[in-house]
Amino acid sequence: MMLSSVETRMSFLRSEIERHNRLYYLHDAPEITDAEYDVLFRELLELEERHPDLAIPDSPTRRVGAPPLEKFFQVPHGIPMLSLENAMTDGEIVEFDERVKRFLGIPLEGEIEYICEPKMDGLAVELVYRDGILTRGSTRGDGFVGEDVTLNLKTIKTVPLRLSTPEPPRLVEVRGEVFLPLKAFQRLNAEREEEGEPPFANPRNAAAGSLRQLDSRITARRPLSIFCYGPGRVEGFEFRDQQGFLAAVSGWGLPVNPQIRKVSGVDGVLGYYREMAEKRDTLDYEIDGVVVKIDSFALQRELGEKSRSPRWAIAFKFPPRQAVTVVEEIVPQVGRTGVITPVANLRPVEVSGVMVSRATLHNWDELEKKDIRVGDTVLVERAGDVIPAVVRVLTDKRTGVEKAVPIPASCPECGSETVRFPGEVAVRCLGLSCPAQIRESIIHFASRNAMDIEGMGVRYVEQLLRLGLVKDVADLYSLTRDDFMRFERMGDKLAENLLNAIEQSKRRELSRFIFALGIRHVGEHTAKLLAEAFGSIRDLEKAGEEELLTIREIGPEVARSVTTFFGNQRNLEVISRLLAAGVCPLAEEKRLGGRFTGKTFVFTGALRRFTRDEAARLIEREGGHAAGSVSRKTDYVVAGTEAGSKLDKARALGVTIIDEDEFAGMLEGGST
Quickly list H helices, 348-491: 364-370, 435-446, 458-466, 481-484
Of the pLDDT bands very low, low, confident and very high (cuts 50, 70, 90), residue 119 is very high
Q: What is the rounded distance in angstroms from the CA atom of residue 181 to the CA atom of residue 303? A: 35
Of the pLDDT bands very low, low, confident and very high (cuts 50, 70, 90), residue 195 is low
Residues in Cβ contact with 150 at an 8 Å cutoff, skipping those fewer than 6 apart: 134, 135, 136, 137, 138
pLDDT: is 224 or 593 the higher one? 224
DSSP β-ladder status, 427-429 and 339-351: antiparallel
Helix/strand/coil for 661: helix
Check pLDDT > 80 for residue 62. no
Q: How many CB atoms lie within 10 A of CB 639?
A: 22
Q: Please compute the mean of the pLDDT values over residues 559-577 and round it to a whole number.
A: 88
Check pLDDT > 50 for residue 611. yes
Of the pLDDT bands very low, low, confident and very high (cuts 50, 70, 90), residue 38 is low
Structural contact between residues 160 and 253, judged by C-beta atoms closer than 8 angstroms? yes
Query: Which residues are designated catalytic?
Result: 119
Q: So what's the pLDDT on residue 634?
A: 86
| 186 half-sphere exposure, CB direction, 13 A CA radius | 12
Q: Give the DSSP H or E segment for 356.
A: strand 354-360
CA distances (Å), origin 320, targets 88, 287, 316, 323, 479: 10, 11, 12, 9, 50
Q: Please compute the mean of the pLDDT values over residues 462-479 and round it to a whole number.
A: 91
Using left for φ > 0, alpha for ψ between -120 and 50, and beta otherwise, residue 390 falls in beta
Check pLDDT > 80 for residue 579. yes
pLDDT: is 315 or 420 the higher one? 315
Check pLDDT > 90 for residue 127. yes
Cα–Cα nearest to 340, from 442, 423, 449, 415: 415
Query: What is the 3-state composition of the chain as percent helix, strand, coil, each rounded to the nearest 5?
Result: 40, 20, 40
Of the pLDDT bands very low, low, confident and very high (cuts 50, 70, 90), residue 590 is very low
Q: How many CB atoms lie within 10 A of CB 590?
A: 16
Q: Please compute the mean of the pLDDT values over residues 629-639 and round it to a whole number.
A: 84
DSSP per-residue letters across 516-584: HTT-TT--HHHHHHHHHHHSSHHHHHT--HHHHHTSTT--HHHHHHHHHHHT-HHHHHHHHHHHHTT--
Check pLDDT > 60 for residue 33. no
Q: So what's the pLDDT on residue 68?
A: 44
In b/e form, how buried is each residue of 113-151, taking b as 16+ CB within 10 angstroms? bbbbbbbbbbbbbbbbbeebebebbbbbbeeeebbbbbb
Cα–Cα nearest to 36, from 54, 24, 27: 24
Cα–Cα nearest to 663, from 635, 628, 644, 642: 635
Q: So what's the pLDDT on residue 302?
A: 94
Q: What is the average pLDDT score of the chain?
A: 85
Q: Please compute the mean of the pLDDT values over residues 518-547 and round it to a whole number.
A: 87
Q: So what's the pLDDT on residue 672?
A: 55
Q: So what's the pLDDT on residue 669?
A: 67
Write down the pTM of the prediction: 0.56
Q: What angle do CA 645, 647, 653 make, to 5 degrees?
A: 105
- Beta-bridged to residue 529, according to DSSP, are none
Q: Tell me: the pLDDT tens digits for 258-309?
A: 999 999 999 999 999 999 998 988 888 989 899 999 999 999 999 998 767 8
Check pLDDT > 90 for residue 664. no
Q: How many CB atoms lie within 10 A of CB 103?
A: 14
Q: Please compute the mean of the pLDDT values over residues 624-631 and round it to a whole number.
A: 76
Of the pLDDT bands very low, low, confident and very high (cuts 50, 70, 90), residue 65 is very low
Q: Tell me: the pLDDT tens digits for 224-272?
A: 999 999 999 999 999 999 999 999 999 999 999 999 999 999 999 999 9
Q: So what's the pLDDT on residue 28?
A: 44
Residue type, 339: V
Structural contact between residues 260 and 117, judged by C-beta atoms closer than 8 angstroms? yes
| 1 half-sphere exposure, CB direction, 13 A CA radius | 4
pLDDT: is 500 or 568 the higher one? 500
Q: So what's the pLDDT on residue 3?
A: 61
Of the pLDDT bands very low, low, confident and very high (cuts 50, 70, 90), residue 350 is confident
Q: So what's the pLDDT on residue 432?
A: 53
Strand stretches in 121-268, DSSP E: 123-130, 133-139, 145-147, 171-179, 225-235, 261-264
CA distances (Å), origin 69, targets 211, 556, 628, 650: 13, 20, 15, 24
Helix/strand/coil for 99: helix
Of the pLDDT bands very low, low, confident and very high (cuts 50, 70, 90), residue 671 is low
Q: So what's the pLDDT on residue 223?
A: 85
Q: So what's the pLDDT on residue 419?
A: 82
Cα–Cα nearest to 338, from 463, 193, 188, 470: 193
Residues in Cβ contact with 54 at an 8 Å cutoff, skipping those fewer than 6 apart: 6, 7, 10, 47, 48
Q: Please compute the mean of the pLDDT values over residues 603-609 and round it to a whole number.
A: 81
Q: In this predicted structure, which of 139-153, 273-287, 498-512, 641-655 has the lowest mean pLDDT?
A: 641-655
Q: Tell me: the pLDDT tens digits for 396-414?
A: 999 999 999 999 999 898 8
Check pLDDT > 90 for residue 583. yes
Of the pLDDT bands very low, low, confident and very high (cuts 50, 70, 90), residue 525 is confident
Of the pLDDT bands very low, low, confident and very high (cuts 50, 70, 90), residue 66 is very low
Structural contact between residues 434 and 338, judged by C-beta atoms closer than 8 angstroms? yes
Q: Please compute the mean of the pLDDT values over residues 140-162 and round it to a whole number.
A: 89
Domains of the chain: 5-63 (1.10.287.610), 86-317 (3.30.470.30), 322-397 (2.40.50.140), 435-504 (1.10.150.20), 510-580 (1.10.150.20), 600-667 (3.40.50.10190)
| 610 half-sphere exposure, CB direction, 13 A CA radius | 24
Residue type, 611: T
Q: What is the rounded distance in angstroms from the CA atom of residue 426 to the CA atom of residue 137? A: 36
Q: Tell me: the pLDDT tens digits for 389-399?
A: 888 899 999 99
Check pLDDT > 70 for residue 178. yes
Structural contact between residues 660 and 608, judged by C-beta atoms closer than 8 angstroms? yes
Structural contact between residues 99 and 306, judged by C-beta atoms closer than 8 angstroms? no
